[in-house]
Amino acid sequence: MQVTRATFDEVMVPNYNPAQMIPVRGEGSRVWDQEGKEYIDFAGGIAVNCLGHCHPAMVQALTEQGQKLWHLSNVYTNEPALRLAAKLTAATFADRVYFANSGAEANEAALKLARRWALDNYGEHKQQIIAFTKGFHGRTFFTVTVGGQPAYSEGFGPKPGAIEHVAYNDLAALEAMMSEQTCAIMMEPLQGEGGVISPDIEFVKGVRELCDKYNALLIFDEVQTGFGRTGSLYAYQQLGVTPDILASAKSLGGGFPIGAMLTTKEIAAHLKPGTHGSTYGGNPLACAVAEAVFDIVSSEEVLAGVKAREQRFKQRLADINSKYNVFKEVRGQGMLLGAELSEAYEGRARDFMMAAAEEGTMCLVAGLNVLRFTPSLIIPEADIDAGLDGLERAIAKLVG
Ligand SMILES: Cc1ncc(COP(=O)(O)O)c(C=O)c1O
């Protein structure tokens, strides 16, 4: 059966507006479309393909597990899930893991756990969840309401309540909002979708102190920053601030859908049998792949390589900017980088992204003004250079 981009408009719900070309094959940081055109992939499936496309270790884990056991449900546990949870707890602050299928589901579990923990320990008055403007936590109704972009949560009827927002990096505003009624603060330790915005370290430390002062839980949404993306297994490890609950997804499965919520033994105890769940959570195929990803990404060599690639990327973006003066700022950490367009090109990030794709470089946007790059953590230097050559050609064409 021959399918084309036109088929999308005929058979798919129109909530996405995908590019005209249809990718059919990927290897490492390169992708080919139906016409055989080659692309350098700086999008990485939106910060997911942390080892590129079809990494041999992942293919091996998937095919081996695929010949053993595909699915059980949580009526039974399984070896890949137990091994992965053991590795995640050994490598982080957490003692307990809950597996889900996506970032939104990992956050949903985190929020429900926080509410239940507060109810059990303090009573019904402690429900307030505070999150940050421009934050993004997923598209379930609870997580999208906690997210700081109202346009995404409006038009769906009554929203979950007791959720408030405050500006990122504004500790005084946060403190003014907090009280003994605060149940949890949810934040990304670097806002991805919101524009690749890093927090001030003092702000993050202050958030932790306020959580301790008001007996509230600190939830880090590391769906985008986690699993090596910023140069440590999780971003909290570089910030030196430990959350009470952490949500992981995206790079965790390297392209296979999986999410995880990590927390302490004491907090986890509040999700008693029957309080929460998911048919596929902890699926053996997903966990086997994630374990293979973990074994590679958690190595010192790979994490150090992320930092080296960050330097190369940023230097080259600065060189491009010195020629064309298109960026106001290049920022971000590790392989989660953003280039904010200068005023002359305000609102045109999508045009730059499309022009780059024409030149064979796949990248992303974060809002209207920021070009975002989230390639494989092990992208070869030659591919960084080739992809940025494509971006430079696109910029040269666009700005004349
Ligand atoms: C920080 C953050 N949280 C949550 C999500 C939602 O993850 P998913 O789309 O897997 O539900 C995203 C996705 O972009 C994200 O960047």
Q: What is the pLDDT along the chain (400 residues), one digit of tens a residue?
A: 999 999 999 999 999 999 999 999 999 999 999 999 999 999 999 999 999 999 999 999 999 999 999 999 999 999 999 999 999 999 999 999 999 999 999 999 999 999 999 999 999 999 999 999 999 999 999 999 999 999 999 999 999 999 999 999 999 999 999 999 999 999 999 999 999 999 999 999 999 999 999 999 999 999 999 999 999 999 999 999 999 999 999 999 999 999 999 999 999 999 999 999 999 999 999 999 999 999 999 999 999 999 999 999 999 999 999 999 999 999 999 999 999 999 999 999 999 999 999 999 999 999 999 999 999 999 999 999 999 999 999 999 999 7
Query: What CA–CA distance (Å, rounded) separates 342 from 348?
Result: 10
The angle that helices 284-297 and 79-91 make with each other, rounded to 10 degrees, is: 30
Told to judge if 87 belongs to the known catalytic residues of this protein, a careful annotator would answer no
Q: Structural domain boundaries of the chain?
A: 5-55+300-399, 57-297
Q: Does domain 57-297 match CATH 3.40.640.10?
A: yes
- Secondary structure class of 65 (helix, strand, coil): helix
Atom of ligand 1 nearest to the CA of 192: 16
Domains 5-55+300-399 and 57-297 share a fold: no
37 is catalytic: no
Q: Say what the pLDDT of residue 354 is.
A: 96
Provide the β-strand partners of residue 336: 333
Residue of 291, 269, 293 whose CA lies nearest to 282:
291
Q: In ligand 1, which atom is closest to the CA atom of 104?
A: 11
**Residue 279 CB-density burial (10 A; 0-12 exposed, 13-18 middle, 19+ buried):** exposed
Q: Three-class SS of residue 342?
A: coil
- State yes or no: 279 annotated in a binding site: yes
CB atoms within 10 A of CB 170: 13
DSSP 3-state of 325: coil
**Pocket perturbation via mutation, ligand 1, pick of 99, 108, 137 by most ligand atoms within 8 A of CB:** 137
Task: Read off the amino acid at residue 254.
Answer: G
- Choose which residue among 223, 258, 333 to substitute to test ligand 1 binding: the one with the highest number of ligand atoms within 8 A of its C-beta: 223
The reported pLDDT for the residue numbered 400 is: 79
Question: For the domain 5-55+300-399, what is the CATH superfamily, name and number?
Answer: Aspartate Aminotransferase, domain 1 (3.90.1150.10)
The amino acid at residue 182 is T
Q: Whole-model pTM?
A: 0.98
103 CB near ligand 1 (under 6 Å): yes
Query: Terminus-to-terminus CA distance in the chain, angstroms?
Result: 42
User: Does residue 141 carry a catalytic annotation?
Assistant: no
Number of H helices, E strands in the chain: 14, 15
**Exactly one of 99, 126, 134, 221 is catalytic; which is it?**
221
Q: With residue 130 as reference, give the H or E element that holds it.
A: strand 128-132
Beta bridge partners of 331: 338
DSSP lists the bridge partners of residue 163 as 129
- Among 149, 151, 219, which Cα is nearest to 183's? 219
